[in-house]
Structure 1
Amino acid sequence: MGKLTARSIVERALEIGDTDGIDAVTIRRLATDLGVTPMALYWHFKNKDQLLVGMADHLIADFVPEPADERPWQVRLRELTVGLIGTLRAHPCAKAVLEQVDQTAVPNFLAVWDLALGLARTAGFDVEESCLISKYLLTSVIAIADAPVHFQSAHTPAEIAELVRVKRLGLQSLPVEKYPHLVEMATPMAGALDPGLYDSFGVELVMSGIEALAAKRLESGA
């Protein structure tokens, strides 16, 4: 292989995380896969915590928000939301990585967070509200990107269909007098949802709430 770099290390770490889960990402496993000694990896990352931060930073590196312009904040915030969902979805392990790091230690995440904060302030929210909006928004983005309807795994499409079928039958077998709505909606609850609808409805739900609250603030003069 070529020269060992921090980039090549985190890229391989993400490949392992995507296929085998984040717990499979270890210095020893990486060293073996990359054909180097563990000490060679420690030159770039002193421990797994630092490696995870590097992985998190690389996850978001491909997300490049448009420069500030004159478009309404609603358009720019929606663009941020949709773009970041698409970027994170490229890696099934993204949610696990981001949940295990101090996100304030991830430069690329900080850039996105700062942009979300700025757009919330532009919308008319105060400092505390902007902090909350940015946190709820980014948490929602990570959750939507990790949607079961999109997940990639070692299962074949036929195996996934069987898992959905078994879950659906389990919900449908519940006592209808006790759980009428779970029984009624067993099919979508089991995961048989249109992926496009899952994304578009999720983004609309989050954005509609923020936009409605901003309009309320504007009307009240807060």
Structure 2
Amino acid sequence: MPRAPRGTLSHKVILEHATRLMDAEGLEAVTVRRLAQDLGVRPMALYTYFKSKEEILAALYDGLLATIELPESPDAGLDGVRQIMREFFRLLTEHPALMKAGSGGQGDMRFGEVIYTLLLNSGIERRTAVGITASLVRFTIGSASVYQERAGWDAGYWSKLRASLRELPAERYPVMRSFGDDLPEFTQEEVFEFGMDRILRMGVD
């Protein structure tokens, strides 16, 4: 990975390198010592900008979360919530290790402020809004966490699965075997959209 040219170390340079390191080697690789080594500086140089590794990770998390484009109108409704969660899903699939770096800081507060505003302004009562938000976040994180290992879903996965289901013994797995003839196909994005819509229905059904 490229080193920072002499005299150019900054918050931005450190966080950009930390993000690349996280994506390439996982969150555990992001340490003050490793960042200093890769950037060609002494560890103490990083403490000029961040007090600790934890502060670097919190800033990394908040910075990436801030890239999510939020609806400008407080009346964007459930479509606005869908927009946010799609962006959150995209962010987590692009940076899988980010799921371990949640800070509960300003990024989360900004995120929550907009989602709760949209839900409450849609006429959803407060307890249901909390349940919807918690369910959406957990569902999105779960969907993103299996995204890479199921990357082959769109390349013949479903036809192979149907074939394997048809081989199941009918007396033991009658329902599963029946799906061998007409198992509906989903992309991972379609599964995500399906689940998100069902969760959001909690507030309107």
Q: 2:128–2:203: 8 Å Cα contact kept in structure 1? A: no
- Please, which of 3, 13, 31 is the counterpart of residue 8 of structure 2? 3
Deviation of 1:36 (Å): 0.9
- List alignment gaps of at least 5 residues for structure 1: 186-192, 217-222
- Distance in 2 of aligned mates of 1:151 and 1:16: 24
In the alignment, what sits opposite 1:37?
A: 42
Counterpart of 1:95, as a letter, is M
- Deviation per CA, 1:128-171: give whole Å up to 9, x if none: 3222221221222233233334789xxxx9xxx9xx9xxx9xx9
- Deviation per CA, 1:165-190: give whole Å up to 9, x if none: xxx9xx99xx96878888999xxxxx
- Please, which of 82, 86, 90 is the counterpart of residue 86 of structure 1? 90
In the alignment, what sits opposite 1:133?
A: 132
Scaled by the length of structure 1, the TM-score of the pair is: 0.69
For the structure 1 residues 67 and 209, does the alpha-carbon distance in structure 2 shift closer, same or farther, using more than 3 Å as the test? same
Aligned partner of residue 68 in structure 1, secondary structure: coil
- Distance in 1 of aligned mates of 2:150 and 2:22: 13
- Distance in 1 of aligned mates of 2:111 and 2:80: 12
Q: What aligned pairs does 1:14-163 form with structure 2 within 5 A after superposition? A: 14-68=19-73, 71=76, 73-98=77-102, 101=103, 103=104, 105=105, 107-149=106-148
Number of equivalenced pairs: 185
Deviation of 1:38 (Å): 0.7
Deviation of 1:61 (Å): 2.3
- Distance in 2 of aligned mates of 1:124 and 1:131: 13
Deviation of 1:54 (Å): 0.8
Counterpart of 2:73, as a letter, is A
In the alignment, what sits opposite 2:182?
A: none
Scaled by the length of structure 2, the TM-score of the pair is: 0.74
Aligned partner of residue 101 in structure 2, secondary structure: helix
Counterpart of 1:50, as a letter, is E
- Please, which of 191, 196, 199 is the counterpart of residue 206 of structure 1? 196
The CA RMSD measured in Å over matched residues stands at 3.2
Counterpart of 2:135, as a letter, is Y
Q: Percent identity?
A: 24
Q: 1:81–1:203: 8 Å Cα contact kept in structure 2? A: no
- Distance in 1 of aligned mates of 2:175 and 2:73: 45
